[in-house]
């Protein structure tokens, strides 16, 4: 097979062509055409992925749980998963804080850029403020209350309720193993077959990924550049040091934390791991949604990394909902950047508060585009930095969202390898990606 026939290369080519198309559109004034006739293909692609996420999680987790002959394994796996997720998140925030304190991007922002950014983006803030406000008023235990659905159909009707779907699948699986086999067999076979069908559908959808990614990238660039490309470049330049701090932090996180995770838990090499799940990372990048990427992450992790379905069907949907290393790292950098730009020095206690609140904020953030910046409000409020400061970073958030989502997806996959390996449920690596 030639290199350009491999799926990940096709996606990369789609991504680059989409970027060039977006730039071309804004230079020649074809933005409306791109919005009307190119973007819809990207939307259809993402919707297809979202469409199969709930049935996939339900079917694969029911199959996973009903094949467990030892229930203590599930709770042990659950404990490990949550524990590793928390540790990697705290490490991500620590890396973010170290990078932003050393690079000090907020101090390089010129006074006049600050004033003009505050003016032009401040009206976009209200909705985000309200959404975060609602969250801060909830009881601390509301998170657990929300995991238990009142209604099966309602839980499955919204992809952001993934933890509820996980809950339903687990109790269904537990129910099945607690009745005589000849009665439960019909359901096991049903979910098993549904699972196979959906995995096939993921394969088919992925064949259209290069085109979907092209459309998504074209639309993002048109959104960013608007009618005046030069202005977008000026903005990017002004916030360049801040963007670099986030990207450098993300790079350090992947190369230090995931590298160490593999050293401790498995024999897998980071390079091989990244190569094997490349399409999922690229999709996370171009969709900015770890929830939409979930079906592909599951497929890659099972087929290419050799993680047993029992592990991946639990670890990945939970991860797509609560584990966001990229988002939490970004929130730490953004909070300190805003404080620096507004001339505030954060004390050590305030920085520790960021560790705590950014952990909670990333757990609470949904796996959809722009969720991280909504939750940033909570972090800023906790350290008494004016929430209006978000206006400073809004203009470049879409780009950073892409990078942090790619890391979120990578983190979920890395933890699934660690959990599988520690449970003796990790098979062989495969690189065939067609
Ligand atoms: N877009 C991210 C995700 O889906 C969340 C965020 O906005 O940081 O993982």
Closest Cα to atom 6, ligand 1: which residue?
A: 372
**Does pLDDT of 34 surpass 90?**
yes
- Torsion angle defined by CA atoms of residues 384, 386, 387 and 392, in that order, rounded to the nearest 10 degrees: -130
**Does pLDDT of 288 surpass 70?**
yes
**Does pLDDT of 120 surpass 90?**
no
What is the Å distance from ligand 1's center to 287 Cα?
10
In the chain, what are the domain boundaries? 3-422
- Does ligand 1 come within 6 angstroms of the Cβ of 361? no
DSSP for 15-54 reads: HHHHHHHHHHHHHHT-HHHIIIIIHHHHHHHHHHHHHHHH
When pLDDT is cut at 50, 70 and 90, the band that residue 125 belongs to is: low
- Does ligand 1 come within 6 angstroms of the Cβ of 367? yes
**Does pLDDT of 135 surpass 90?**
no
Residue 235: CB atoms within 10 Å? 17
Which residue out of 401, 407, 411, 413 has the highest number of ligand 1 atoms within 8 Å of its CB and is therefore the one to mutate? 401
Which residue out of 369, 374, 399, 411 has the highest number of ligand 1 atoms within 8 Å of its CB and is therefore the one to mutate? 369
Classified by CATH at the fold level, domain 3-422 comes out as: 1.10.3860
- Non-local (6+) Cβ contacts of 19 within 8 A are 217, 218, 221
For position 432, what pLDDT does the model report?
64
- Does ligand 1 come within 6 angstroms of the Cβ of 368? yes
**Does pLDDT of 74 surpass 80?**
yes
pTM recorded for the entire structure: 0.89
Q: How far is CA 2 from each of CA 10, 18, 313, 348, 431, rounded to the nearest angstrom?
A: 11, 22, 33, 54, 14
Min mean pLDDT across 56-65, 247-256, 280-289 is at 56-65
Closest Cα to atom 3, ligand 1: which residue?
A: 367
Closest Cα to atom 1, ligand 1: which residue?
A: 369
For position 258, what pLDDT does the model report?
95
Element at 192 (helix H, strand E): helix 181-207
When pLDDT is cut at 50, 70 and 90, the band that residue 165 belongs to is: very high
For position 402, what pLDDT does the model report?
96
**For residue 330, which atom of ligand 1 is closest to its CA?**
8
Phi-psi label, residue 298: left if phi above 0, alpha if psi -120 to 50, beta otherwise: alpha
For position 231, what pLDDT does the model report?
76
**For residue 289, which atom of ligand 1 is closest to its CA?**
4
Q: How far is CA 216 from each of CA 39, 230, 345, rounded to the nearest angstrom?
A: 6, 22, 39
When pLDDT is cut at 50, 70 and 90, the band that residue 141 belongs to is: confident
**For residue 362, which atom of ligand 1 is closest to its CA?**
8
For position 190, what pLDDT does the model report?
96
**For residue 288, which atom of ligand 1 is closest to its CA?**
1
- Does ligand 1 come within 6 angstroms of the Cβ of 249? no
- Does ligand 1 come within 6 angstroms of the Cβ of 46? no
For position 358, what pLDDT does the model report?
94
For position 128, what pLDDT does the model report?
63
For position 238, what pLDDT does the model report?
82
- Does ligand 1 come within 6 angstroms of the Cβ of 312? no
For position 139, what pLDDT does the model report?
79
What is the Å distance from ligand 1's center to 250 Cα?
14
Check if the beta carbon of residue 374 is closer than 8 Å to that of residue 128.
Answer: yes
Closest CA to 41 of 206, 219, 198: 219
Min mean pLDDT across 8-12, 132-136, 192-196, 256-260 is at 132-136
- Does ligand 1 come within 6 angstroms of the Cβ of 371? yes
When pLDDT is cut at 50, 70 and 90, the band that residue 433 belongs to is: low
What is the Å distance from ligand 1's center to 371 Cα?
5
When pLDDT is cut at 50, 70 and 90, the band that residue 117 belongs to is: confident
For position 240, what pLDDT does the model report?
92
Higher pLDDT, 405 or 119: 405
- Does ligand 1 come within 6 angstroms of the Cβ of 290? yes
Per-residue pLDDT reduced to its tens digit, 365-417? 889 999 999 899 999 999 999 988 898 998 899 999 999 999 999 999 999 99
Which residue out of 162, 249, 372 has the highest number of ligand 1 atoms within 8 Å of its CB and is therefore the one to mutate? 372
Q: How far apart are CA 388 and CA 338, in angstroms?
A: 9
**For residue 320, which atom of ligand 1 is closest to its CA?**
9
Check if the beta carbon of residue 407 is closer than 8 Å to that of residue 250.
Answer: yes
Which residue out of 246, 332, 370 has the highest number of ligand 1 atoms within 8 Å of its CB and is therefore the one to mutate? 370
Ranges 138-142, 288-292, 388-392, most confident:
288-292
For position 140, what pLDDT does the model report?
75
Q: Which residues on neighbouring strands pair with residue 426, listed in sequence order?
A: 307
Higher pLDDT, 360 or 126: 360
Residue 293 φ/ψ, nearest 5 degrees: -80, -15
Min mean pLDDT across 126-130, 243-247, 385-389, 397-401 is at 126-130
For position 68, what pLDDT does the model report?
76
Q: How far apart are CA 43 and CA 348, in angstroms?
A: 44
Mean pLDDT value across residues 169-195: 92
Q: How much is the CA Rg of the chain, to the nearest whole Å?
A: 22
For position 167, what pLDDT does the model report?
93
- Does ligand 1 come within 6 angstroms of the Cβ of 321? no
What is the Å distance from ligand 1's center to 179 Cα?
40
What is the Å distance from ligand 1's center to 28 Cα?
32
What is the Å distance from ligand 1's center to 372 Cα?
6
């Amino acid at each position: 097979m030639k290199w350009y026939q491999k799926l990940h290369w096709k996606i990369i080519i789609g991504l680059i062509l989409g970027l060039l198309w977006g730039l071309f559109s804004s230079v020649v004034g074809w933005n409306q055409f791109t919005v009307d006739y190119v973007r819809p293909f990207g939307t259809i692609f993402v919707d297809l992925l979202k469409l199969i996420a709930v049935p996939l999680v339900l079917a694969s987790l029911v199959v996973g749980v009903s094949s467990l002959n030892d229930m203590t394994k599930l709770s042990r796996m659950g404990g490990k998963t949550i524990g590793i997720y928390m540790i990697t998140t705290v490490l991500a925030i620590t890396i973010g804080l170290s990078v932003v304190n050393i690079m000090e991007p907020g101090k390089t922002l010129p006074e006049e850029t600050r004033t003009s950014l505050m003016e032009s983006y401040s009206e976009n803030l209200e909705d985000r403020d309200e959404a975060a406000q609602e969250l801060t008023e909830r009881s601390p235990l509301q998170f657990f209350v929300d995991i238990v659905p009142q209604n099966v159909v309602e839980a499955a009707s919204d992809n952001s309720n993934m933890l509820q779907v996980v809950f339903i699948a687990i109790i269904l699986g537990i129910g099945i193993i607690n009745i005589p086999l000849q009665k439960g067999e019909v359901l096991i076979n049903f979910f098993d077959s549904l699972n196979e069908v959906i995995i096939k559908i993921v394969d088919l959808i992925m064949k259209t990924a290069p085109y979907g990614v092209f459309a998504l990238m074209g639309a993002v660039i048109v959104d960013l550049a608007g009618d005046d490309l030069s202005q977008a470049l000026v903005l990017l330049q002004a916030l360049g040091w801040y963007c670099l701090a986030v990207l450098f932090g993300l790079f350090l996180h992947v190369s230090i934390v995931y590298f160490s995770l593999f050293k401790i838990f498995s024999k897998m090499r980071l390079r091989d791991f990244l190569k094997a799940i490349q399409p999922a990372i690229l999709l996370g990048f171009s969709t900015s949604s770890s929830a939409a990427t979930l079906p592909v992450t599951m497929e890659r992790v099972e087929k290419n990394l050799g993680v047993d379905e029992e592990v991946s069907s639990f670890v990945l949907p939970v991860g797509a909902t609560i584990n966001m290393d990229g988002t939490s790292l970004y929130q730490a950098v953004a909070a300190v950047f805003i404080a620096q730009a507004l001339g505030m020095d954060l004390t050590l206690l305030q920085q520790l508060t960021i560790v705590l609140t950014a952990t909670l904020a990333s757990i609470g953030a949904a796996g959809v585009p722009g969720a991280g910046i909504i939750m940033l409000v909570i972090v800023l409020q906790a350290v008494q930095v004016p929430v209006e400061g978000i206006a400073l970073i809004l203009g470049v958030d879409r780009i950073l969202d892409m990078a942090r989502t790619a890391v979120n997806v990578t983190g979920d996959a890395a933890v699934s390898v660690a959990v599988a390996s520690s449970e003796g449920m990790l098979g062989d690596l495969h690189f065939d990606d067609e």
